[in-house]
Homo-oligomer: A and B are copies of this chain.
Amino acid sequence: MILLTRRATFSASHYYWNPAWSEEQNVATFGRCANRQGHGHNYTLEVTVNGEVDPVSGFVVDLKWLKDVIEHEVLDVYDHRHLNHEVPEFASTIPTTENIAIAVWKRLEVPVKVAGGAKLSRVRVYETNDIFADYLGETDGASA
């Protein structure tokens, strides 16, 4: 069982707001994150894949390829963007750290399998140094 991880970063704005709620309820639930002017973070992303080590190249996947996939599928869409206003999946889903991790998984799962011949194993998103979410897919959670 071998896992290979590549880290990347992006800077984006967001805010937390449930349009079905009153302003009072939003502020009560989300605190300062409900400020609709938005605030932002330097997000750090860790993308982990697993597979067999190719005996010829010594690679699970080509890390240069993995970097490019992350850039094309995620960073080009998220970096220097306002997540609520400019990223389709957050038009109606609140861009919490948990939901960002799930959204990144959805963007990467197929390319990693089809083009990379590997299995997406974990997506970790750090919102700050002190907060991060891990999404492991709709599996039985057996590997982390």
Residue A85, interface by CB 8 Å: yes
Contact between B40 and A40, CB atoms less than 8 A apart:
yes
Contact between A94 and B57, CB atoms less than 8 A apart:
yes
Residue A106, interface by CB 8 Å: no
Q: Which residues of B contact A136 (CB under 8 A)?
A: 1-3
Assembly CA distance A35 to B77 (angstroms): 13
Q: Which residues of B contact A81 (CB under 8 A)?
A: 35, 37, 39
Contact between A58 and B2, CB atoms less than 8 A apart:
no
Q: Which residues of chain A from 26 to 60 have a CB within 8 Å of any chain B CB?
A: 29-33, 35, 37-42, 48, 50, 53, 56-60
Contact between A130 and B6, CB atoms less than 8 A apart:
yes
Residue A79, interface by CB 8 Å: yes
Residue A88, interface by CB 8 Å: no
Contact between B53 and A3, CB atoms less than 8 A apart:
no
Q: Which residues of B contact A96 (CB under 8 A)?
A: 53, 57-59
User: Top 8 closest A-B pairs, CB basis?
Assistant: A40-B40, A58-B94, A1-B141, A58-B96, A37-B82, A32-B80, A7-B130, A1-B136
